[in-house]
Chain A
Amino acid sequence: MPDPSEPLRDTLLRAGVAPVHVRRYLRELSEHFSDLVGEEREAGKSPTEAEAAARARLGGDEALAGAMLAQPSLRSWTGRAPLATLVIAPILLVVLAWVLACLGIIFLIGWPADPNNLNPRPAWVPPEWLPRTWQPPIGTAVLDLVQFGGPILVGSWVALLAARQRSRLIWPLLGCVAVALFGASLFWHAHWPAVDPRDPLHRLSFGLSMGFRGDHMSDHHHSFSFAVWSQSLPMGAFNLAVAGAVYWWARRRQLAA
């Protein structure tokens, strides 16, 4: 049997009302309806008459939706600014994931000691403690994990957010394509400290590039190559497929509920 509150839920979500307020509103309306039915029954009406009277007193879907839409403060950011929430913010989140991964690595291995003291250790960073032979494999593993996992997580988050809000398909589509391609095209690289601390090029550094790959210390002068960039397309397609699957799953779950 279809949920009688589904048309109202759909109208409110599509109009941008925050899902949390929609859920609460429908629950309170259902409780109110039970109280009204009880009152009408006490007044001597039959169950059918009581339900009809309660429904009339509660108000039609149009009036109930209108009252909610008249309160702009109850709208979600996804409803108010879908371009910012579902397209721009996710791209920034991918960059933020890179920043967090770099900071995480610095905290994980500690601040590399510098015999020339050109880069003194900030007080908030622990001193280097992980042996230098371990730093590249562990650091690269963290970087790779976030580089490949970040866009997948962000894309899935966009898909879930859009499905929850029942946003127009164009927004999650744009957001997921942008995150999938941007995330896959970015090449995250790091230069690890040399095992010999007397090596002049022993500093730890991180880089972010698009369209070329290789050791950034020697290839930093390389220009953008479409051929190299296009190698990231399969990864972008994979990111998009995961986000699409998440969106499809979330919508299917809503329709089944």
Chain B
Amino acid sequence: MAEATFMNGVPELLVLRCLRDREMYGYELVQEIRDRTGAVVTLGEGVVYPLLHALERKGALQSRRKSVQGRSRVYYSITPKGAERLTGLSGTWSSLAGAIQQVMQGEAHAGPV
């Protein structure tokens, strides 16, 4: 539960970051996130779609149905609004990660009492 709370906002950040490079469909996106994070972050295979739909409704993503090798898929790509959102989320994430890192390093330096 604590881990789930800590992960709030992370799937959105990762989805936007991956889609910034190229358009992808759901299955591809989940594999991409798993590969890029070295399987440290694995999104639920099926639960990525509600997030994609919600981001599309917010105007951060756009989708189109495309046939590749005879199979029809919904491809998602980032919009300028989504890119702006990604910049904001990345900034927040970087400062948060930096702050946590600082605390962790301080703990290591303090050593046992």
Contacts and interface: CB of A to CB of B under 8 A. Distances in A.
B20 interface: no
Contacts of B47: 59, 63-64, 66-67
B50 A31 contact: no
Given A31-B73, A32-B27, A35-B27, A70 B45 contact: no
Contact of B74 (A21, A28, A35, A68): A28
B50 A68 contact: yes
Contacts of A70: 50
A89 to B, nearest CB: 22
Contact of B50 (A34, A36, A71): A71
Interface string A32-43: 101110000000
Interface string A66-94: 11101101100000000000000000000
Nearest to A28: B49
A146 B72 CA distance: 44
Which range contains the number of B residues in contact with the other chain? 10 to 19
Contact of A31 (B27, B51, B54): B27
A73 B45 CA distance: 21
Given A28-B26, A36-B27, A71 B51 contact: yes
Given A28-B74, A71-B51, A59 B57 contact: no
A74 B74 contact: no
B53 interface: yes
B16 to A, nearest CB: 16
B9 to A, nearest CB: 13
Ranked nearest first, the 6 interchain pairs of A and B with the lowest CB-CB distance are A67-B47, A71-B54, A35-B27, A59-B46, A58-B46, A68-B50
